[in-house]
Amino acid sequence: MPTHRIGRVSYVNGRYVPHSDAAVHIEDRGYQFADAIYEACEVRNGSIVDLTRHLDRMDRSLRELRISEPMSRKALALVLAEVIRRNRVRYGSIYLQISRGVARRDHPFPTRPVAPSVVVVAKHGDQKKNDAMAVAGIGVITMPDLRWGRVDIKTVGLLPNVLAKQAAREANAREAWLVDDAGFVTEGGSSNAWIVTADGVLVTRPEGPDILSGITRRGVMDTAEKLGIRVELRAFTVEEASQAREAFITSASSIVMPVVTINGKSVANGHPGTLATHLREQFHGVVEARNLSTRIPI
């Protein structure tokens, strides 16, 4: 892949610009108030995985925050495709952020309407490295969930997630599982959390204001249904997870990633579980993938 020959290009408010010059104004409300939403999608074989669901969730986040839609869905899909194309990304991710826009700093919404800011950034990924990580499995640590009450909205207000993930890194773990006041795992710092019971049932927390409704989580539910694996939507404690047959996380960047240690203690035999591994293998055969280089049927 001749990625070193071409400069990275990002999209900022109507323009494709060299990545190193890509910038928004210092009074962008995303920058000052985290008054912005985002989506991060997997790119695989040059196509965006599960684009429709990501754009549906984006619409919902915008509605919840009363940020106006910056452009039509078709136009947005074209911009995403163009950024992927210009950066020659075959495998990696595409990041989309929409803020309320630029206005003199004042907490309430701007009184005069401002145009939302739109930023799109593509990133190359290393598929071999990710697959190797899934073969080895990852460690998670647990931390109190210190976030606000509407984490179902995918905002860029991620400071507690940042701190939790940094703590994980410093503990040589890949993810932090966030735990509510009652001792139940909500989700990971940037992923949803799952376990497998002794009976081979998948367990993950139901949708609600306390978790992000992950697109990969949905795709794994569809994959499980196709494979005849039962899914139970309920919360689980750290204790239950530590005794589980398997544990794993899901996200657009990790798809299905087996968890082999929790707070340094092995889950089951300390190796990736068979169900998590099977779900990872089958996932892309079930979810939507659009070849954006040919046409965009939206």
Among 36, 40, 81, 122, binds ligand PDD (CB under 6 A): 40
Count helices and strands in the chain by DSSP H and E runs? 8, 16
Among 217, 245, 284, 290, binds ligand PDD (CB under 6 A): 217
Q: How far is the CB of 262 from ligand PDD (least distance, A)?
A: 17
Among 61, 99, 251, 277, binds ligand PDD (CB under 6 A): 251
Q: How far is the CB of 186 from ligand PDD (least distance, A)?
A: 9
Q: How far is the CB of 130 from ligand PDD (least distance, A)?
A: 13
Catalytic: 154? yes
Residue 209: alpha-carbon gap to chain centroid: 16
Give the closest residue to 71 by CA, choosing from 119, 16, 23, 123.
119
Per rule CB under 6 A, count of chain residues that contact ligand PDD: 15
Give the closest residue to 76 by CA, choosing from 294, 296, 290, 289.
296
252 binds ligand PDD per the rule CB under 6 A: yes
Q: Which member of 74, 128, 129, 154 is catalytic?
A: 154
Q: Identify which range of 12-20, 74-82, 211-219, 232-240 contacts ligand PDD by CB under 6 A.
A: 211-219
89 binds ligand PDD per the rule CB under 6 A: no
187 binds ligand PDD per the rule CB under 6 A: yes
216 binds ligand PDD per the rule CB under 6 A: yes
DSSP character at residue 155: B
Q: Rounded CA gap, 16 and 125, in Å? A: 21
Which residues, including other chains, have CB under 8 Å from residue 114's CB and lie 6 or more apart?
100, 101, 102, 103
Q: Report yes or no: 253 and 54 within 8 Å, Cβ to Cβ.
A: no
Q: Rounded CA gap, 31 and 157, in Å? A: 10
Q: Rounded CA gap, 177 and 167, in Å? A: 11
Site string for ligand PDD, 188-207 (x = CB under 6 A): --xxx---------------
- The residues assigned a catalytic role are 154
Q: Using CB under 6 A as the criterion, which residues of the chain lie in contact with ligand PDD when the complex forms?
A: 40, 161, 187, 190-192, 212, 214-217, 250-253
